[in-house]
């Protein structure tokens, strides 16, 4: 996570908001905002998270044969964040690319790697979720500025003969509603190009309330699909690690699945919504806090821009 903490009190001096409103409506108390002066670019954050993951897995970067990064905020339009991180890690034996799937980016990336492992295309892979949303947030828009933040998380996936690991992945998209959450300008969409160099800034826009309702419904549906696919019931899930967008969305999901909040991991109060980074960051914290027990089933599930949403069920094998 970036070093700089921006509290709700700090947000009160940036936009017309209150600690009380942010806490009550979203569950967020503070978030982390990155700075390139402290080597906290998207590439920097992803590299640090990847080094931590490789260290924990006891694997050298040269062992990696595939790297996929879920992000909507790579440092450059091209090359991919994955290729830039590959250089930093010295992971010369991997092929590397990014996945753009909004807040579901990490889960989409995980699914690509899982299938590549299953068909024998790779043995040892790195999956990263990283976001520098502070670079696309409209800092005058209180409805989004208080929610979004920066961070990175990474996991190492290995082909193993024994059962367990990633049981299944379930990916969904609905492009008909892309305009509920999008970046107003950027990449090749420059409608004012003939007006010369007077480019409008690249801002994120969200219809929060519509997204909110869809998020609870879609997260619940895709979670049920994942459970049914594996012949599991809600009570078989030891821990849900959901996307951290709003504590009320997480509570709605838990209620629909009839899973008590004690079996749902949350850290949104500390980090806000870091899009594709929320799940790997949360998985890492849950793991280090000893909440992921060997042999237990974990449900991870996310929803975001695209619209995209996804779920996976894991059996923790460590
Ligand atoms: O990561 C995946 C995608 N993102 C999400 O899943 C986020 C989904 N949406 C949400 O989390 C919630 O919709 C929000 C937290 C964004 C907003 O909560 P809400 O309960 O849906 O509030 P609202 O948008 O209906 O706004 C209620 C009021 C409005 O005022 P009026 O029109 O009722 O007078 C807003 O102008 O709250 C106002 N408001 C604020 N007030 C203080 C909006 N943002 C703020 C703010 N501080 N930061």
Domains of the chain: 4-163 (3.40.47.10), 167-180+208-315 (3.40.47.10)
pLDDT digits (tens, 9 = 90+) for 82-130: 999 999 999 999 999 999 999 999 999 999 999 999 999 999 999 999 9
* For residue 196, pLDDT beyond 70: no
Clarify whether 273 is annotated catalytic. yes
pTM above 0.85, yes or no: yes
Clarify whether 243 is annotated catalytic. yes
Q: Is the separation of the CB atoms in 245 and 215 below 8 Å? A: yes
Ramachandran area for residue 157 (φ above 0: left; ψ -120 to 50: alpha; else beta): beta
pLDDT digits (tens, 9 = 90+) for 234-293: 999 999 999 999 999 999 999 999 999 999 999 999 999 999 999 999 999 999 999 999
| Cα angle 61-64-69, degrees, rounded to a multiple of 5 | 95
Q: Mean pLDDT across the stretch 174-180?
A: 97
Torsion sign (Cα): 171, 172, 175, 178? negative
Mean pLDDT, the chain, rounded, equals 94
Residue nearest to atom 9 of ligand 1 (CA): 208
Distance from the first to the final alpha carbon of the chain = 24
Alpha-carbon span 1 to 150, nearest angstrom = 7
DSSP state of 131: E
- Give 301 Cα–ligand 1 centroid separation in angstroms: 22
What band does 38 get if pLDDT is binned at 50, 70 and 90?
Answer: confident
Which residues' Cβ are closer than 6 Å to ligand 1? 17, 21-22, 25-26, 103, 142-143, 146, 181, 208-209, 211-212, 215, 245-246, 249, 273, 303-304
Number of other CB atoms surrounding residue 225 within 10 Å: 14
* Closest ligand 1 atom to 248 CA: 11
């Amino acid at each position: 996570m970036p070093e700089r903490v921006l509290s709700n009190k700090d947000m009160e001096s940036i936009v017309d908001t209150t600690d009380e409103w942010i806490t009550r409506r979203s569950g967020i108390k503070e978030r982390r905002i990155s700075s390139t002066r402290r080597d906290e670019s998207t590439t920097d954050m992803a590299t640090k998270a990847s080094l931590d993951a490789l260290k924990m897995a006891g694997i050298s970067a040269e062992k990696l044969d595939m790297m996929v990064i879920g992000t909507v905020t790579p440092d450059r339009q091209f090359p991919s964040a994955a290729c830039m991180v590959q250089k930093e890690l010295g992971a010369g034996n991997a092929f590397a690319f990014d996945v753009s799937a909004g807040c579901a980016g990490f889960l989409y990336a995980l699914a690509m790697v899982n299938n590549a492992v299953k068909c024998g295309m790779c043995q040892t892979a790195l999956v990263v979720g990283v976001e520098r949303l502070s670079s696309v947030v409209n800092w005058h828009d209180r409805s989004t500025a208080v929610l979004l933040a920066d961070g990175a998380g990474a996991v190492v996936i290995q082909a193993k003969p024994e059962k367990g690991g990633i049981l299944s992945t379930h990916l969904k998209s609905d492009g008909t509603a892309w305009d509920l959450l999008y970046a107003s300008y950027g990449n090749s969409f420059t409608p004012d190009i003939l007006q010369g160099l007077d480019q409008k800034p690249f801002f994120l826009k969200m219809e929060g309330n519509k997204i909110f309702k869809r998020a609870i419904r879609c997260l619940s549906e895709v979670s049920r699909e994942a459970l049914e696919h594996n012949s599991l019931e809600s009570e078989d899930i030891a821990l849900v690690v959901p996307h951290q967008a709003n504590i009320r969305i997480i509570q709605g999901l838990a209620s629909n699945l009839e899973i008590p909040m004690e079996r749902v991991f949350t850290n949104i109060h500390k980090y806000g919504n870091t899009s594709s980074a929320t799940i790997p960051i949360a998985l890492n914290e849950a793991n280090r806090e000893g909440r992921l027990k060997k042999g237990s089933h974990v449900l991870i599930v996310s929803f975001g821009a695209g619209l995209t949403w996804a779920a996976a069920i894991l059996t923790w094998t460590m």
